[in-house]
Amino acid sequence: MKTSRRPSVSGISRNRIAADNRPGISPVDIADHNSRTTLGLLRRFGPLTRQELAKHLGLTEPAITGIMQRLADAGLVVGGKRVTTTRYTAVEFALCPDAAYSLGIQLGPDGCKIIMLDLACSIVRQEHVTGLDMIAEVIAGMIASTQVSAGLIGCGIALSPETASARAAVEAAISHLVGPLFFLEDSEAAINAERMLGIGDVEGGLVTILIDDTVRAGLLIGGRPFHGMHGLAGQIGEMRSGIDGASLNETATLPSLQRHLSRTTSADAWVEIAARHLHEAVLAISGFVAPGAILIGGSLPDEIIAAVIVRMSDERDEKIRNLVIAPWIPVVQPATYPKDGVVLGAALRPFNDTLFPA
């Protein structure tokens, strides 16, 4: 079931469009779901046999054969013999990494990160630019140097509260180079990266806390990003807590750390204050959401994130010890990709819309 022609994702994408125009669950819906789930399994576990796929999907092996034939015809998977120590061999199927590519852009306070992912979700190219006026030139160069224009399925663009106003300028600059474009909040992008490439779909949901110029949280509840009725869920930076009544944006951001370090060489005092305020925010979130995991990422140095997390669980701190810790509140941990989770999640967004399970 090998193919040598240029991979194409158009057939799978057309199936999804057709499914969207049908009422209820149709055969097209089922085929699209099975194809997406199969691609997701191959991305997560690597090469799998028909028997292994049948076990994961709860389908018969003949049904798996049909799914794999469709995916092979689209150039998305390739079959090969699995090497074993016995005389029996089995055909296993793997993703064709060069079958599809996606771009991700993170607009942040220190410039723009740009990456290109292949279908196996490996980073093919990555660049960092300091100004919006450089994005189009860099993307054009990335596309030309890798010769992937035929397989480029879209571009995800993660915006922070500070960069949301740049959406129109970015769209005008690159829409002629790559499409479609998918705009999303950076906190949602971080959640997407954790769900697909990090700790996965944790029972109870996920919370990611991003710390750079502001503090904000991404919420994944029931397998879906949660924004609230007014789209403000996760905007925790203005939460005020502690005896001083200070906000997280005042006490637990990268600028506040930099101001502190301009006065002293030790970050210990800043870590103590930031940890207390973040701890109270975590308690407030967990009291209503009860997530399965809480992770911290962003622009803080890795050693500072680690120190804050340790301090948040330090029972020697009287103010933290006196707070009631419910048994369902998980231990806070660093994000799988503290610095690159946002841009990875942005690049994964077009795959979620076309090929992988949403």
CATH number at residue 168: 3.30.420.40
pLDDT digits (tens, 9 = 90+) for 137-187: 999 999 988 888 778 999 999 998 889 899 999 999 999 998 899 999 999
Task: With both helix axes pointing from N to C terminus, report the angle between 135-146 and 167-174 in degrees, rounded to the nearest 10.
Answer: 40
Number of domains in the chain: 3
Domain boundary among 68, 98, 128: 98
Helix (H, G, I), strand (E, B) or coil at 57: helix
Same domain, 308 and 259: yes
Same domain, 66 and 153: no
CATH at 23? 1.10.10.10
Domain boundary among 48, 72, 98: 98
Range 39-53 average pLDDT: 93
DSSP percent split of the chain into helix, strand, coil, nearest 5: 45, 20, 35
Give a yes or no: residue 326 inside a domain: yes
C-alpha 219/C-alpha 90 separation (Å) is 42
Give a yes or no: residue 2 inside a domain: no
Give a yes or no: residue 193 inside a domain: no
Give a yes or no: residue 37 inside a domain: yes
Give a yes or no: residue 306 inside a domain: yes
pLDDT digits (tens, 9 = 90+) for 199-251: 988 888 899 999 999 999 999 888 888 888 777 888 899 999 877 889 999 99
Domain residues for the domain of 136 are: 100-186+341-354
Task: Spell out the residues 6+ positions from residue 99 whose beta carbon is closer than 8 angstroms to its own.
Answer: 7, 8, 9, 74, 75, 76, 119, 151
Same domain, 149 and 221: no
Give a yes or no: residue 191 inside a domain: no
Give a yes or no: residue 283 inside a domain: yes
